[in-house]
């Protein structure tokens, strides 16, 4: 893995793969925007199964940051079905799934029974029978077979959605987000990998490693920990407060806005502390972490 991270031809191939994913994700963006624009109730639930947590969290945080007129809720699909939907009638739900079809279909069945306005997105199912059922329930099936690429695909679509919806909000911040959404991410991947390759080398040097972050970056950090396991590392994710008490190697994942939390991490951590610091707009940091997981996943193949 580490040799390929320094192999320019391998990285060039990855850039081409990412350009393809970006192009396809833009097609999904217009559909997400169309759904969100027609939601009439005051509450939108950004729901998920599996690693769909990452695109769902990006739209949730975007809505909070840019002060959408809708009240956002972030919750796993089973939680939504059991604890939220039966008690109110003014929800709209968008569900991001990475292929956990049993949970997804069960959630959709509840939403249909209760007459909830929903839009569900998932990768291509493994069998024709599941695909037929998914299409029957109106699931938007994206042309991706593995969960890491599906996560990146939906995360990019979520970012492009937010960059379009909020381009006139918060003055310069909305404009910057829109411009980055228009530019995309593929052209910066090479320099991004070069910047963090030494951190990845340190992380990969020995097991185990605990990955931790603030809640803002929790979803993509969980994905990163999963991909590290694919590379043979004993890696788990723990929330920051729990990770601080662990006497193991700890990778702290932070955005540049997390300065106070970073200082606390360095001061209180009982384990060997490693750091992945993303000097980026926080919403962009979510995308770049998903890209990093995708890069590591592709290099494993």
So what's the pLDDT on residue 149?
96
Q: Give the model confidence (pLDDT) of 27-60 as tens digits.
A: 999 999 999 999 988 999 999 999 999 999 999 9
Sign for the pseudo-dihedral over CA of 256, 261, 267, 271? negative
Mean pLDDT across the chain? 91
**276: pLDDT confidence band, cut at 50, 70 and 90?**
very high
- Residue 161: φ, ψ to 5°: -60, -50
Largest CA distance in the chain: 55
Answer whether residue 131 shows pLDDT above 70: yes
Q: What is the pTM of this model?
A: 0.94
39, 70, 92, 94, 111 from 88: Cα distances, Å: 15, 15, 11, 16, 12
For the chain, list the strands marked E by DSSP: 43-49, 71-76, 91-97, 117-123, 140-142, 209-213, 235-237, 249-255, 273-278
Q: Give the model confidence (pLDDT) of 172-231 as tens digits.
A: 888 888 998 999 998 888 888 889 888 888 888 888 999 999 999 999 999 999 999 988
- Of the candidates 268, 271, 264, 228, which has an alpha carbon nearest to the alpha carbon of residue 248? 271
Query: Among residues of the chain, what percentage have pLDDT more than 90?
Result: 65
Query: Which residue segments constitute the domains of the chain, with CATH numbers given?
Result: 19-183 (3.40.50.10490), 186-300 (3.40.50.10490)
Answer whether residue 4 shows pLDDT above 90: no
């Amino acid at each position: 893995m580490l040799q390929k991270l320094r192999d320019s031809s391998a990285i060039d191939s990855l850039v081409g793969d990412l350009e393809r994913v970006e192009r396809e994700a833009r097609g999904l963006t217009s559909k997400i925007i169309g759904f969100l624009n027609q939601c009439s109730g005051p509450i939108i639930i950004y729901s998920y199964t599996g690693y769909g947590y990452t695109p769902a969290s990006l739209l949730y945080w975007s809505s909070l940051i840019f002060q959408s007129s809708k009240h956002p809720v972030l919750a796993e699909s089973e939680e939504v079905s059991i604890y939220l939907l039966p008690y109110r009638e003014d929800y709209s739900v968008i569900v991001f799934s990475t292929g956990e079809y049993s949970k997804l279909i069960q959630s959709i069945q509840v939403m249909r029974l209760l007459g909830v306005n929903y839009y569900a997105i998932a990768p291509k199912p493994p069998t024709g029978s599941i695909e037929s059922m998914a299409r029957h329930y109106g699931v938007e099936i994206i042309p991706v077979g593995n969960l890491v690429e599906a996560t990146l695909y939906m995360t990019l679509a979520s970012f492009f959605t937010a960059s379009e919806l909020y381009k006139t909000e918060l003055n310069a911040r909305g404009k910057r987000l829109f411009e980055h959404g228009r530019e995309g991410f593929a052209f910066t991947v090479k320099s991004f990998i070069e910047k963090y390759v030494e951190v990845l080398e340190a992380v990969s040097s020995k097991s185990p490693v605990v990955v931790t972050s603030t809640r803002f970056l929790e979803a993509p950090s969980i994905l990163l920990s999963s991909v590290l396991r694919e590379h043979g590392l004993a890696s788990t994710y723990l929330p920051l407060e729990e990770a601080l008490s662990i006497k193991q190697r700890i990778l702290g994942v932070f955005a540049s806005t997390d300065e106070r939390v970073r200082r606390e991490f360095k001061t209180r951590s009982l384990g060997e502390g490693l750091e992945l610091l993303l000097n980026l707009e926080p919403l962009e940091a979510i995308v770049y972490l998903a890209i990093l997981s995708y890069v590591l996943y592709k290099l494993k193949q």
